[in-house]
Amino acid sequence: MEGLINNLIKAIGWTIIHSLWQGAIIYATLFIVFAIRFKNNAKAKYNLSFAALFMMFISFFITFFSFFQLPNNDLLIENITLNSIGFQDLSNLNNNFFYKLEVYLPIIVLAYVIGVFLQASVLLFGYQKLQKLKHAHISPISAQWEVFFFTALSQLNISKKVDFYLSSKVNVPLVIGYFKPVVLFPIALATQLDTWQIEAILYHELSHIRRNDYLLNLIKSCIETLLFFNPFVWLTAKFINIEREHACDDLAVNFTGRPISYAQTLLELEVLKNKQTPALSLAAIGNNQHLYQRIKRITNMKTNYVNPKQHFLIITLTIAIIASIAWINPAKKQEVKVKETKELVITKPKIIKFKSLIEPLFSKSDTDSVKNSSKKFQMTYLNKDGKKVVYHSLDELPDSLKIKFKVMEEKFDSPEWKEKMAAIQKNGEDLQKKFDSSEWKEKMAAIQKNGEDLQKKFDSPEWKEKMAAIQKNGEELQKKFDSPEWKEKMEDLKKLYESTEFKELRKKYENDVEDLKKNKGIKNKNSLKL
């Protein structure tokens, strides 16, 4: 169980670290594609952004499963051979960068678990709060609003049932729900906007329903919760939010045909609102800077999504994390190279041999040809299938193997281990003396003689005849129990016991016994039984 937890912590920790440079590469690719193509195609940019976010999510889990391995106790320390240089390199693991970094993995994983819990709590709280808005202080819309509401549904080819209400709890128009979507419109804005403005906003909100944005936004929020530590996830999510509103703006302008008036409507909504938009909802307006970009885009002005400072920050952060691949990637390479063999698990040595524990680590060939091999690292071990795996450098060793060797070395050098090995050796010598003593040999000879006598008895004709007689009696009893006469007799007894006369006789007998016990002064009810 302890090995499983350690492997799980290691897999999660290295996955978090690798997720940063993976996210950097995916985000940089997305940023370059946006700069080259799809400058005005909001739908394509939204799809690409969501695909990039999903790739970060998938790469996170692929990396985790590539690192995580179940503990394997099938490999023993006797299967390992090292040359002198290899053992010397393993003894210097404290100076290895990846070994030092792996020490902090439990802290990283603990912080990650706490972060996921907090993010999930915020997400769940926002979802519950949003669901309450669907039924809190709502009012039906007027007949005039119903006309262009159903007209908009028809033009947008929305077949699912959509409810439209006025609400005093929201300050901006928004959409809630996927299977039973609801459009909520603020009562305070109903009298301050013209009919065509309300119609334009309604087209925008219904566009979210047509595009299934509520469900996709919920999926995006879950990915953000699991990968909250990755800044490139949040940058990609920002692209998704921007292009989602742009795509809905395009649909609204396409059906209304009044881009300038639609931009003025968005500006009026921004002026009239006074609160934040609920989490997970899809509103017509949002961040002030995004609204300014949307208005410029709708009016065909030049749009720049990221200012120069943000450009510089993104490029610097991307280069820094991609450069770190040169430091982190070797650890990944080690794991991939030994993927075909199972992880080495150090178990307690057998007590058959009582030689030095360090001596078996050196292969015989190393001592015979020092000139040829003393300058080269070499370590071999046999896996469960009996295949030999050879490592020629310390960097090729898996991190888990390095850690186990370091722990093994510290354990073997401890006074407790030496005392324990001395006690085991002494016990072995005492056992050997006992096994070599004349008393033990006589005892074993007596046991062997008794066994031979028993074997002769079991092989004797008398014993075989006795066993044959017992078997014959058993077969005759089985035939008797299976005979119709015996079964008929049992049925007659059953009928007798179940008859009314027998039950009355039984009851009369029990009453007579009770009276007799009372006359004799017997208090123990169980002293007389039929």
Q: If you write DSSP's letter for every residue of 199-236 in order, what string do you get?
A: HHHHHHHHHHHHTTHHHHHHHHHHHHHHTTT-HHHHHH
CA–CA distance from 215 to each of 158, 183, 329, 400 (Å)?
A: 16, 15, 36, 41
pLDDT of residue 407: 72
180 versus 321: the higher-pLDDT residue is 180
Query: 326 pLDDT exceeds 70?
Result: no
Are 254 and 57 within 8 A, CB to CB? no
The tokens describing 189, both together, are 């804005």
Query: 52 pLDDT exceeds 90?
Result: yes
Q: What is the pLDDT of residues 508-522, one digit of tens each?
A: 888 888 888 888 887
Alpha-carbon span 214 to 162, nearest angstrom: 13
What is the average per-residue pLDDT within 315-326? 56
Min mean pLDDT across 6-15, 93-102, 186-195, 243-252 is at 93-102
Q: For the beta carbon of residue 429, count every other beta carbon within 10 angstroms.
A: 11
165 versus 40: the higher-pLDDT residue is 165
Are 137 and 169 within 8 A, CB to CB? yes
Average model confidence (pLDDT) across the chain: 76
Largest CA-CA distance found in the chain, in angstroms, rounded? 118
Q: How many angstroms from the chain centroid is the CA of residue 514?
A: 71
Min mean pLDDT across 160-164, 194-198, 201-205, 265-269 is at 265-269
Helical (H) or strand (E) element with 166: strand 163-167
Inter-axis angle of helices 325-337 and 42-67, to 10 degrees? Answer: 50
Can you name the residues that pair with 167 across neighbouring β-strands? 138, 186
Alpha-carbon span 379 to 361, nearest angstrom: 9
pLDDT of residue 313: 56
Alpha-carbon span 414 to 406, nearest angstrom: 13
Are 152 and 199 within 8 A, CB to CB? yes
pLDDT of residue 370: 40
pLDDT band for 51, please (50, 70, 90 cuts): very high
Min mean pLDDT across 180-184, 273-277, 407-411 is at 273-277
The tokens describing 246, both together, are 């742009």
pLDDT of residue 95: 54
pLDDT band for 422, please (50, 70, 90 cuts): confident
pLDDT of residue 170: 83
With b meaning 16 or more CB within 10 Å and e meaning fewer, what string describes 21-39? bbbbbbbbebbeebeeebe
pLDDT band for 368, please (50, 70, 90 cuts): very low
Among 69-83, 93-107, 395-409, 438-452, top mean pLDDT goes to 438-452
The tokens describing 106, both together, are 């439990």
pLDDT band for 399, please (50, 70, 90 cuts): low
pLDDT band for 296, please (50, 70, 90 cuts): confident
Q: What is the 3-state secondary structure (H, E, C) of 447-462?
A: HHHHHHHHHHHHHCHH
Query: 383 pLDDT exceeds 60?
Result: no
Q: What is the pLDDT of residues 92-137, one digit of tens each?
A: 555 555 666 777 888 999 999 999 999 999 989 888 888 888 777 7
For the chain, the distance separating the N- and C-terminal CA atoms, rounded to the nearest angstrom, is: 59
| Residue with token string 């085991």 | 424
Q: What is the pTM of this model?
A: 0.55
pLDDT band for 333, please (50, 70, 90 cuts): very low
Are 424 and 354 within 8 A, CB to CB? yes
What does the CA dihedral 375, 377, 378, 379 come to, rounded to 10 degrees?
A: 140
pLDDT of residue 330: 45
pLDDT of residue 60: 94
What is the average per-residue pLDDT within 7-28? 90
405 versus 258: the higher-pLDDT residue is 258
The tokens describing 241, both together, are 């939010």
Quote the percentage of the chain above a pLDDT of 90. 16
pLDDT of residue 80: 59
Alpha-carbon span 439 to 441, nearest angstrom: 5
Q: What SS3 state is found at 282?
A: strand
| Strands (E) located in 214-336 | 282-283
Q: What SS3 state is found at 300?
A: coil
pLDDT of residue 312: 54
Q: Mention every residue, 6+ apart, whose C-beta is less than 8 A from residue 57.
A: 223, 226, 227
- Report which of 147, 158, 238 is spatially closest to residue 199, judged by C-alpha positions: 147
Alpha-carbon span 344 to 338, nearest angstrom: 10
pLDDT of residue 21: 92
pLDDT band for 15, please (50, 70, 90 cuts): very high
pLDDT of residue 366: 42
pLDDT band for 481, please (50, 70, 90 cuts): confident
Q: Mention every residue, 6+ apart, whose C-beta is less than 8 A from residue 141.
A: 149, 164, 165, 166, 185
Min mean pLDDT across 111-115, 382-386, 485-489 is at 382-386
